[in-house]
Amino acid sequence: MSWSDGTDDQPVRAAGAAPGGGLSHRVPELGALELLLAVARLGSLGRAARELGITQPAASSRIRSMERQLGVGLVDRSPRGSRLTDAGALVTDWARRVVEAAEAFDAGAQALRDRRDSRLRVAASMTIAEYLLPGWLIALRGQRPDTAVSLLAGNSTVVAGRVLSGEADLGFVEGVSVADGLDSVVIAHDRLIVVTAPGHAWARRRRALDAGELAATPLILREEGSGTRQVLDAALGGLARPLIELSSTTAVKASAASGAGPAVLSELALGEELSARRLVEIPVEGVRLSRDLRAVWPTGHRPAGPARDLLTLTRS
Amino acid sequence: MSWSDGTDDQPVRAAGAAPGGGLSHRVPELGALELLLAVARLGSLGRAARELGITQPAASSRIRSMERQLGVGLVDRSPRGSRLTDAGALVTDWARRVVEAAEAFDAGAQALRDRRDSRLRVAASMTIAEYLLPGWLIALRGQRPDTAVSLLAGNSTVVAGRVLSGEADLGFVEGVSVADGLDSVVIAHDRLIVVTAPGHAWARRRRALDAGELAATPLILREEGSGTRQVLDAALGGLARPLIELSSTTAVKASAASGAGPAVLSELALGEELSARRLVEIPVEGVRLSRDLRAVWPTGHRPAGPARDLLTLTRS
DNA sequence: TGGGGGCATAAGGTGGGCTTATGAGTTGGA
DNA sequence: TCCAACTCATAAGCCCACCTTATGCCCCCA
């Protein structure tokens, strides 16, 4: 073997596409990615192994097999510790994204268990549960690690019912009206955005779209009955014309990004697509495409304890 | 066993936080998440199994063990196929995020191998390689599945050198100046953003910050020498005052989100943090915090073939 | 010069996930 | 009416990936 001295600053090298199929055969398991992050942070295979509760040989072998799998050296080993290579630093950044998504998955899934001993029972609409709640739960766990949270997801009616009946301590709903017997506070805004592929003609417009143009143009949309569709129909007066109707937000994004046409999506569902310019936002004026996201609780029973902690987190 | 009829619309239930430690023990492996997505899309365990190249019993067992692991039923089985439960739909949405991050990881890692047969050799600065290139590679793979891409990441000087020497077909750099002998086109803008936790005093300001205020306030920053730090120092005239210096973008985000103070970060590094309001943007005026991201190639040798395809993808 | 921290290698155990083989429920057409 | 085709579940067995323990080499420093 060769102890590299860790000072060679040769740039990262890399190459080629492969046949494809079976993502999990080409991407290391989550445990290996976690290990890589620990090595990057702690500067030693052994320390990283201890932190994850495995032995040093296990860590050594796992990093090595990850390097074999990727075909790239990730770590410069030396008798004084281990540092990432340039390629390793890049891979670690990409790995961090995967692990962060896994953390959000974990936070959500934890709350999806029906546990009687939970100290905070939350009811939330689908959009909020999908996009916002995992992040809140991670933040709440950071502040109050011992707070067990349970989540019930449903439409606004279900959420209101659970909160009113005391089966949930705090609710989160989207929509303009709030059921009788509930107090609420606006915690965020769900804005619908018109997007196209960067190459689309609208991406080069200088003027904002108006309601007439939007209503006259066939759009890539979620199916009728979806939340975003309802808001759009209401804003346009029930006139939205579908170019294609798709059943998942992901399919709509993919279709729009491939240039099939303009799409309308919640800004919560976009994010990386916009910053990476896979999709670009088309300004719109004269159309009310936003709705409030609200926390709700029984009138007069201002949230206290863990519910108050969560509410504080979510408010601007 | 019981064939559920798939029509019971009871809402999603869920609960509680757990001790912690060992993310990979609580989150299913990537292969299992992929399988879940395939089941959701195809509506049948068997079809999903065939698509992934495994047998139906393997798929059945894997979904079942995932349900055990998460403590939540994900799929309603019936003799006519399988549909997601409400909880399963939510879990699937979260899983999709993980798999998308894994796809970006894969696209990047593929390109990080040193392959001689690659048809397109790209050199890119770190920021671009980290945040933008994986998405471009996924898009390029969608259009030209047979194009093998190799990636070399380094600073602007290295990138320019490789492109000039013909070792790279196309380069991507950040910064104001372009080396002699290179033509370039602006493909995107890297804007630095001032962010704070939502509870920070600045989040309630009505006026935009000016250069003086920004220079006078200690900020959470990347270490000296980092790209974002250079831009900030240049914009402020070398005056940026660090409150804390951290060595990774992630650490800066975490620190700012916990309320330690204002931070300055590339908008590429933010995204979900902003839309989920873990961080909020503070408007700034009178300071030039943006720089161009450019594609570069040897003067006169306009990119052709795969390089042209990639260039087209990246341009607005 | 010995101790401690770093990493690698070798040998052995265990379990998760795969396969094949089979059975049972539902649907629809011969 | 019954068989073919689809769905999923269960059982038995195999194999490999990953872990552990035990050991050795290298380097630095007191």
Residue B133 has pLDDT above 90, yes or no: yes
- Does any strand C atom come closer than 7 Å to the Cβ of B248? no
Q: What's the gap in Å between the CA of A93 and the closest CA on chain B?
A: 7
Question: What was the pLDDT predicted at B78?
Answer: 93
Say yes or no for a CB contact (<8 Å) between A14 and B150: yes
Name chain A contacts of B23, Cβ cutoff 8 Å: 30, 34, 99, 102-103, 106
Average of per-residue pLDDT values in chain B: 86
Q: Which run of H or E residues covers position B81? A: strand B81-84
Residue B74 has pLDDT above 90, yes or no: yes
Amino acid of residue A85: T
Question: What was the pLDDT predicted at B137?
Answer: 92
Question: What was the pLDDT predicted at A17?
Answer: 31
Name the band, by pLDDT with cuts 50, 70 and 90, for residue B43. very high
Q: Can you tell me the distance from the alpha carbon of B152 to that of B171, in angstroms, rounded to the nearest whole number?
A: 9
Which of A66, B21, B141 minimizes the C-alpha distance to B133? B141
Name chain B contacts of A258, Cβ cutoff 8 Å: 142
Name the band, by pLDDT with cuts 50, 70 and 90, for residue B21. low
Q: Can you tell me the distance from the alpha carbon of A265 to that of A195, in angstroms, rounded to the nearest whole number?
A: 8
Chain D: positions less than 7 Å from a protein CB are: 6-12, 18-22, 26-28
Name the band, by pLDDT with cuts 50, 70 and 90, for residue B225. low
Residue A298 class from Cβ within 10 Å (0-12 exposed, 13-18 middle, 19+ buried)?
middle
Q: Can you tell me the distance from the alpha carbon of A312 to that of A304, in angstroms, rounded to the nearest whole number?
A: 11
Which of B286, B244, B289 minimizes the C-alpha distance to B262? B244
- Does any strand C atom come closer than 7 Å to the Cβ of B142? no
Q: Can you tell me the distance from the alpha carbon of B170 to that of B124, in angstroms, rounded to the nearest whole number?
A: 8
Q: Which run of H or E residues covers position B163? A: helix B156-164
Q: Can you tell me the distance from the alpha carbon of A102 to that of A120, in angstroms, rounded to the nearest whole number?
A: 23
Question: What was the pLDDT predicted at A194?
Answer: 94
User: Which one is predicted more confidently, B181 or B287?
Assistant: B181
Q: Which run of H or E residues covers position A316? A: none
Q: Would you say A279 and A167 are in contact if contact means Cβ atoms under 8 Å apart?
A: no
Q: What's the gap in Å between the CA of A65 and the closest CA on chain B?
A: 14
- Does any strand C atom come closer than 7 Å to the Cβ of B69? no
pTM for the predicted model, two decimal places: 0.86
The count of other CB atoms within 10 Å of the CB of residue B65 is 12
Residue A6 backbone zone (phi > 0: left; psi -120 to 50: alpha; other: beta):
left
Of A176-180, A257-261, B118-122, B241-245, which gets the smallest average pLDDT? Answer: A176-180
Residue B106 has pLDDT above 90, yes or no: yes
Of B6-20, B119-133, B229-243, which gets the smallest average pLDDT? Answer: B6-20
Name chain A contacts of B116, Cβ cutoff 8 Å: 15
Q: Can you tell me the distance from the alpha carbon of B16 to that of B107, in angstroms, rounded to the nearest whole number?
A: 35
Q: What's the gap in Å between the CA of A195 and the closest CA on chain B?
A: 13
Name the band, by pLDDT with cuts 50, 70 and 90, for residue B146. confident
The string of DSSP codes covering A41-72 is HHS-HHHHHHHHT--HHHHHHHHHHHHHHHTS
Amino acid of residue A262: P
Tell me chain B's radius of gyration from C-alpha atoms: 24
How confident is the model over B132-158, as a mean pLDDT? 88
Chain C: positions less than 7 Å from a protein CB are: 5-11, 17-21, 24-27
Question: What was the pLDDT predicted at B88?
Answer: 94
- Who contacts A182 (Cβ-Cβ below 8 Å, separation ≥6)? A160, A163, A164, A171, A296, A297, A298, A299
Amino acid of residue B98: V
Question: What was the pLDDT predicted at B35?
Answer: 97
How confident is the model over B130-150, as a mean pLDDT? 89
Q: Which residue has the tokens 């707070």?
A: A147
Residue B5 has pLDDT above 70, yes or no: no
DSSP-derived pairing of the beta strands A170-174 and A120-124: parallel
pLDDT tens digit string along A35-88?
999 999 899 999 999 999 999 999 999 999 999 999 999 999 999 999 999 899
Q: Would you say A211 and A287 are in contact if contact means Cβ atoms under 8 Å apart?
A: yes
Question: What was the pLDDT predicted at A225?
Answer: 64
Low-confidence ranges of chain A (pLDDT < 70): 1-21, 114, 116, 176, 225-227, 275-276, 316
Q: What token pair was written down for A191?
A: 């804005």
Beta strands in A181-308 (DSSP E): 182-196, 219-222, 242-246, 263-266, 280-282, 290-298
Q: Which residue has the tokens 């009310």?
A: A288
Nearest to B276 among A13, A26, A135 (CB): A135
Q: Would you say A178 and A159 are in contact if contact means Cβ atoms under 8 Å apart?
A: no
Question: What was the pLDDT predicted at A20?
Answer: 46
Question: What was the pLDDT predicted at A13?
Answer: 45
**Chain A nearest-CA residue for B53:** A22
How confident is the model over B143-171, as a mean pLDDT? 90
Question: What was the pLDDT predicted at B229?
Answer: 81
Q: Can you tell me the distance from the alpha carbon of B176 to that of B166, in angstroms, rounded to the nearest whole number?
A: 23
- Who contacts B258 (Cβ-Cβ below 8 Å, separation ≥6)? A142, B197
Q: Can you tell me the distance from the alpha carbon of B187 to that of B173, in angstroms, rounded to the nearest whole number?
A: 10
Say yes or no for a CB contact (<8 Å) between A152 and B30: no
Of A4-8, B146-150, B265-269, which gets the smallest average pLDDT? Answer: A4-8
- Which of the given ranges, A129-133, B11-15, B103-107, B225-229, has the highest pLDDT on average? B103-107
Question: What was the pLDDT predicted at A230?
Answer: 77
CA of A170 to C1' of D30 (A): 61
